Structure formats: structure tokens, C-alpha cells
Chain A
Amino acid sequence: MKNLLSKELKLCVPTQTWIFVALSMCICIPSWPVMTSYIYVIAGFMPLFPIALANRDLLYTSILPVKKTDVVKGKVLLMCFLQLVSILWSIPFAVLKVFMSASMPPEDLYPELGVNPALFGFILIMFMMFNLIYVPWYYKKPDTKNAAAQLVSMFACMIYMGIITAVFIAVPGLADFINNLANPVSLGVNIGILVAGLLLFIGGSALANYLGGKAFQKVDL
């Protein structure tokens, strides 16, 4: 597993992908919908797969002494790694946003899901959705399926993000409740969403790996 991830990081990640991962720092922008910052890491996957194809990565990895399904596992590990890096990288900027927002007049701020554990739970669910839609689809036919799989899985994530954002704006008091971490009930809900997000992210990505591997097994290289 370590070898696979190390191989992906050394050979497969173009600079633009790292730039997109770093864009999760946009979370610090006040009144900018918080979840938007994490769509960028998904957009950063756009060049990842076509570049790997151009470098004959599928054949190279398949020739290494690994199972054919490990070709998929390597990419899923990389995707999860980059997604988690984008979250970790954004944390200091999220704290900055809290300070910046505190100094702004309340009328300039709209009710939104703030920087709290629930946010990261929702983000992890979004990443899981992307992985689960994209990976099995792409590995059915890696030569041709990239564009369609990317667009549909990204679109699904944007709809999900839009719904979450809209719900917190539309339901009166919901944003205040979820952002009030001093309230033990709110804190419990926050932690519950984070744990659920983490479990779904791990389980969904593992399922994406399994389904992608199963599809790729049938692909003749």
C-alpha cells in the first residue's frame, strides 16, 4: 500500500493538481460558501488521469509485481490522500476565516454552515460521492471514460454542495444551531456528522476501490 502511494506521488501528480489541492485555502474568504473551496481538489483530478494515460501508467503499474486490481488501489489511495491533504491544509485558513468574519458587520454575513466539525463531515461525504461515482465508471474503459465520469461525478458533488449550502440558508436557525459549539447538543451533532462523514469516506472509497478493481480486471491492456 505504501509503495503504491509513494509511486503515485513520485510519478503521477502534475503541478496543476497540487495547485488545485492548495486552493482549499480559499475557505478563508469571508461570505464565500465554505464547501466551494473543496470542489477545487476534485477539479484537480481532471488532468491526473489523462496524464497517467499518456505516460502509459496503466501498463507500467500492471507490469510491476502487484495485482491488477492494485492499479486501481494506487489511484484511490492517491485521491483520498489529496482529499485529506486539502482538508488539513485548509484548517489554518478556516481559523483565519473565523477571525476575519468576527470583525465583519453581522449584516454582511449570511447564515451558513460555519467552520466546525460538521463542515468537514459534509466535505468527506462529498469526496466519498466523487470517488464512488468516478472510480468504478472510469475503470470500465480507462481510454475513453475519463471526461464523462469526471463531469458527472463533479456535477453530483456540486448539486450535493448546493443542497447543503441552501438548506443552511433556507432553514431558519439551523446555521446558528450547528455553529454554536458551546451548546453540548450542537457539539454532539457536529461530532456525529464528522464521524459519519469519516466512516462514509473510508467505506465509500473502499467500495469505489473494490468496484473499480472489479471493472478494471475485465479491461484488456
Chain B
Amino acid sequence: MSNTVLELIDVTKRYASFTLDHVSFHADEGRIIGFIGRNGAGKTTTMKAIYGLIEIDEGSIILDGKSVKKDEQDIKNDIGLLFGGIDYYPNQKVKTLTSVTKSFYSNWDEALYRKWLKYFELDEEKRIKELSNGMKVKYGLAVALSHGAKLLILDEPTSGLDPVSRDEVLDCFMKIAKMKGTTIIFSTHVISDLEKCADDIVYIQKGKIVKAATAEEFKSGYLKVEGEVNSLTSSLKDKIGHYREHGNKFAGTIPAEYKNDFASYDVTEASLEDIMLFIERGVEDEESPF
């Protein structure tokens, strides 16, 4: 059984127009956790809460047996946090920012940092603003991995990257998790990224966790169904989420328990994107103007 690295218990943060509502989930050692939900669902707020950047109203966050609230400084030594890529002090050179950053970490490994720079082909003489988006992410990873972070929290690390850079970064995540035992929590709107590398999925909707499970378990709860529109009865149609028609064909997503009802249709494994659309858009609202 894997060791639990991070545990969130009933984490609540209330704002005037939004509440992060009793968020609970855990992250095990060496796992990649895809943290998904639509914009404004509470992903970034949760990530900031884990790092103590926002003050939570209720609940607790435990990293390796230490409380984020009480052992703030210690815990930050063990976490690498990236919002997109590194974009602080854009006019400073990479080497200047690194020299300042590393002076704060008790477990900084300079030789390892040099290896990561070489691996990511990063030029220390460049200014931060001269780095591409992909390079900014890689630089952030190089810093996080050089201070021996046990947990990487990455908010949209692949946004704005071209497919090749994205693939490189994802490949890197998988190697880091597998070879170093680092736990990675990352949020993304590019759901196909999660198909490639996520071991677990945590789904958040309107500040509440809808489901936290392994990727297989998460996906096994839903199926994709396709068939001919003419053959579809209205009672069956009502069970289909994110229903759409193209010519005489229809497609949609159903909860796995309806599988037998759709035995005469093409029923296949739903993708994470299908599931997300099912959860967010659900069954068509009858009062919709469309």
C-alpha cells in the first residue's frame, strides 16, 4: 500500500460569492493526480490552500504528518509550487533568480540542479522574459526538483504549450513520479494530458469534490454511447448526458449502471473529456432556448 503524502480534510474557505466546501482527498507517494473541474470550480483555491497562500476557515491539510498551518516553513521545503511557469522578476536572469531562490532551501542540491538545466536545455544567462512558456515550466520544475520536493503542485503547467513541449513535460512528470517517487498534483483544461499520465483523478465542481478515485475507477463509472437517432426512445434519450446529434447519428455519455439499457447501441469506454462534459453539462435542460 502506498504512503499518503498529502491529506486534505474538510478544507473550507468562504468568499462572498464562492465557497470551497469541505474539500477532502488524499495523494499517495509517487502518484500523478489530475485535478479537474471547470474554470472557477476551486482548483487554484485548493492548490493555494495546500501551500498556505490563503487562510482556510475550516479543516486541515497534512503533508507527511505535518500541518500546513503549524509547520508552514518546513512544509514549503517539501513542496514545489508552480502556477503556469515561473514568471517572477521577468527582467532578471535565470541565474540571478536561482541564486536567490536556492539560498532559502536547506536541502538544495546544486549538482542535481545543473543536471536538470542540462536535461531541459535551459540557458542560465537568459532573462526570465526571454524564456518560452515551455521553458518557464521546465525552469520551475528544475528548481522544484533540485530542492527535493516530495510533492509538486502544478496549476495548468501545460497551458499554452505546443503539443511537443506538452508531451515532453508530461513525459517528465511520469519519469519524476516513477523514478523519484515524487507525488504530482496538476490541474489542466487539456484533458487529454490526464489520459496520458494521471494515476488518480480528483474532480471538483462549484467548490465541492464530486469524486476522487483512481483514473480507472473514475472512468469505469461512465460510458460513451453512439447510435442512430431514429432508434432512440425518449426515455433512453433522457438518460444520456452531453447528448449531441450529427445527421442521423447521436452520441453522448451515460452512467455505467445504464449499460444494459443501451445494449443495442455502440457502447464504449468514455474519455475523461466525455465524463467532464457529462458532469458539467448533464442532461439538456428542457427550458433551454435551444
Residue ranges of A at the interface with B (Cβ–Cβ < 8 Å): 3, 6-7, 10-11, 55-57, 59-60, 62-68, 217-218, 220-221
Contacts and interface: CB of A to CB of B under 8 A. Distances in A.
Contacts of A60: 88-89
A173 B47 CA distance: 65
Contact of B100 (A11, A59, A217): A11
Interface stretch (B70-78, B246-254, B282-290): B70-78
B96 A59 contact: no
A220 B48 contact: yes
B81 A68 contact: no
A55 B90 contact: yes
A217 B55 contact: yes
A221 B83 CA distance: 12
Interface string B47-88: 010011111000000000000000011101100010100011
A130 B262 CA distance: 73
Task: Give the dominant DSSP class at B's interface.
Answer: loop
Given A6-B103, A60-B89, A217-B55, A66 B73 contact: yes
Given A7-B104, A11-B100, A221-B48, 8 more contacts: A10-B99, A10-B100, A63-B51, A63-B76, A63-B81, A64-B104, A65-B104, A68-B53
Contacts of A67: 72-73
B100 A6 contact: yes
Nearest to B128: A55
Contacts of B100: 6-7, 10-11
Interface of B: 48, 51-55, 72-74, 76-77, 81, 83, 87-92, 96-97, 99-101, 103-106, 147
Nearest to A9: B100
A220 B73 CA distance: 17
A57 B48 CA distance: 16
29 contacts: A3-B103, A6-B100, A7-B100, A10-B96, A11-B92, A11-B97, A55-B90, A55-B91, A56-B87, A57-B88, A57-B89, A59-B53, A63-B51, A63-B53, A63-B76, A63-B81, A64-B101, A64-B104, A65-B73, A65-B74, A65-B76, A65-B105, A66-B76, A67-B73, A68-B53, A68-B72, A220-B54, A220-B55, A221-B48
Contacts of B83: 59
Nearest to A12: B89
B121 to A, nearest CB: 24
A59 B88 contact: yes
B73 A55 contact: no
Nearest to A54: B90
Contact of A66 (B89, B97, B104): B104
Contacts of B92: 11
Contacts of B53: 59, 62-63, 68, 220-221
A57 B87 CA distance: 10
A56 B76 CA distance: 18
Nearest to A7: B100
B277 to A, nearest CB: 31
Contacts of A59: 53, 83, 88
Contacts of A63: 51, 53, 76, 81
B58 to A, nearest CB: 15
Nearest to A60: B88
A217 B55 CA distance: 7
Nearest to A57: B88
A3 B103 CA distance: 7
B54 A55 contact: no
B88 A55 contact: yes
Nearest to B90: A55
Nearest to B101: A64
Nearest to B106: A65
Nearest to A2: B103
A217 B53 CA distance: 9
